[in-house]
Amino acid sequence: AQKVTQAQTEISVVEKEDVTLDCVYETRDTTYYLFWYKQPPSGELVFLIRRNSFDEQNEISGRYSWNFQKSTSSFNFTITASQVVDSAVYFCALKGSGGSNYKLTFGKGTLLTVNP
Amino acid sequence: NAGVTQTPKFRVLKTGQSMTLLCAQDMNHEYMYWYRQDPGMGLRLIHYSVGEGTTAKGEVPDGYNVSRLKKQNFLLGLESAAPSQTSVYFCASSTLGTGDMWPQHFGDGTRLSIL
């Protein structure tokens, strides 16, 4: 069975602070894919990043960066110099390659509030 | 290019009423999905389809039925709505193949309230 755990239910920071959202996953598949999605207050789901299990390079995109560590089964997301527009619910998700390769398993999400 | 379109966006039902949510995608995707989102629960898969004419149960299928008569459409039905089905419903679609060809493309959601 696959599982994604986002232990932080809610995080509140002040603008310009750095913030890290944690994601820990469980899977028996040797090939798998990890995703982060953003859900702003308007409600739509916005794709942020995809990482496959063979690529452990960290990625940076502007103020966003992702740290993938297979040894600890974690795929953490850091926002540098947070802004009010970053306020949203963030979901980590996992896609396997075996019998469950058709679907995404989502974590419960982390509500990030960035205060001015 | 509309992507994934869900109809309606909002609906209020009385307990026991029935309704159908429509999802349409214009990306020629093989896979389609229905999720529900509840506070503190993330997104949970209700039903999915791997191709026209096929459907399968997800994690929380009870109380729902689905149909995929056309490749581009995936319908979610509530035969006898219950207050526990008050939720936000998301439809998604994706290609076949490896995860490198993903992500799933999501609709904007349908907010459904059952009184």
- Other Cβ atoms within 10 Å of B115 Cβ, number: 10
State the Cα–Cα distance between residues A43 and A68, nearest whole angstrom. Answer: 27
Does residue B90 sit at the A interface (CB-CB below 8 Å)? yes
Residues of B in contact with A108 (CB under 8 A): 40-42
Please give the pLDDT value at position A93: 94
- With cut-offs at 50, 70 and 90, classify the pLDDT of residue B104: confident
pLDDT score at B43? 93
Helix (H, G, I), strand (E, B) or coil at A70: helix
Q: Which residues of B touch A32 (CB under 8 A)?
A: 99
pLDDT of residue B41: 85
Instruction: Search chain B and give the residue with CA nearest A48.
Output: B103
B102 to A43: CB separation less than 8 angstroms, yes or no: no
Contacts of A82 (CB under 8 A, 6+ apart): A13, A15, A16, A17, A18, A19, A63, A112, A114
Tens-digit pLDDT profile for residues B11-67: 999 999 999 999 999 999 989 999 999 988 889 999 999 899 999 999 999 999 999
Q: What is the mean pLDDT of residues A21-50?
A: 93
Q: Which residue type occupies A66?
A: W
Query: In which band, very low, low, confident or very high, does the pLDDT at A99 lie, cut at 50, 70 and 90?
Result: low
Residue A35 forms contact with B (CB below 8 Å): yes
Residue keyed to tokens 């999915």: B48
Mark which residues 8-37 of B lie under 8 Å from A by CB: 31, 33
Instruction: For residue A1, name the pLDDT band (cuts at 50, 70, 90).
Output: confident
Q: Is A45 within 8 Å of B58 when comparing Cβ atoms?
A: no
Q: How far is A79 from chain B (nearest CA, A)?
A: 21
Option in B33, B44, B102 nearest A33 (CB): B102
A24, A37, A95, A102, best to mutate vs chain B, most B CBs in 10 Å: A102
Is the CB of residue B100 less than 8 Å away from at least one CB of chain A? yes
Residue A94 to residues A105, B7, B22: CA-CA distances in angstroms? Answer: 5, 27, 26
Average pLDDT rounded to a whole number, residues B81-87: 96
CB contact under 8 A, A108 and B42: yes
